[in-house]
Amino acid sequence: MTTALKPKHQRLVLVVLALVVLIGAALLAIWGLRGQASYFYVPSDLVASPPETGKAVRLGGMVQEGSIKTLPDGVTVTFDVGDGKVTVPVRYTGITPDLFVEGSGVVADGRLAADGVFVADTLLAKHDENYMPRELQDMTDAQAKAVVAETE
């Protein structure tokens, strides 16, 4: 090379190289965080490698349809949390959040009891990415489309 690069082109090459290295480092860090930075375990994780009995873990998944039962004391509920592959029975005593319904997501802090039931201390409802007005929730897709078409 006989022609030297202009200073601004040198800087361009330098900054782009630095960015490539930086992005590489970030990807490595994120790769290392895989699994570590997750907020909760899904039931499959819990079944595949069960934590020690009494160790605090966080379980997240979908509340299975028809599984919510209120015990005779009125404040304890039992339900199954599943991720489409396996389900884990959960017991919780306390007031459940408004969004805690069958078929919706839930995140429970607690521990695995000796009988295999997950005992939750706190219950958080997980909202999914769907937003829908009240008026449309009980309609079929076709009805909803008709209503939307009328209002437009």
Partner 1 sequence: MHGFANPARFLRLARWLTPILLVSGLLLAGGALAYGLLFAPADRLMGDTVRILYIHVPSAWLGMGGWTTIAIASFVELVWRHPLATIAARAAAVPGAVFTAICLATGSIWGRPTWGTWWVWDGRLTSMLVLLFLYFGYLALANAAQKDGVGGGSRVTAIFGLVGAINVPVINRSVVWWNSLHQPASITMGKSAIDPAFLWPLLIAMLGFSLLFGGVVLARMRAILANFQAESRLRRRAMASDAMAGVAL
Residue 38 beta carbon to partner 1: minimum distance, rounded to whole angstroms = 4
Alpha carbon of 99 to those of 12, 17, 18, 115, 149: distances in Å? 52, 48, 46, 28, 29
Residue 84 beta carbon to partner 1: minimum distance, rounded to whole angstroms = 14
Sequence letter at residue 126: K
Contacts to partner 1 by CB under 8 A: 8, 11-12, 15, 19, 22-23, 26, 30, 33-34, 37-42, 60, 97-99, 101, 104, 107, 122-137, 148
Q: Tell me the C-alpha distance between 59 and 51, whole Å.
A: 11
123: nearest Cα among 150, 99, 88, 144: 99
Residue 131 known to bind ligand: yes
Q: Which is nearer to partner 1, 67 or 109 (CB)?
A: 109
Residue 127 known to bind ligand: yes
Q: Which residues are annotated as a binding site for heme?
A: 127, 131
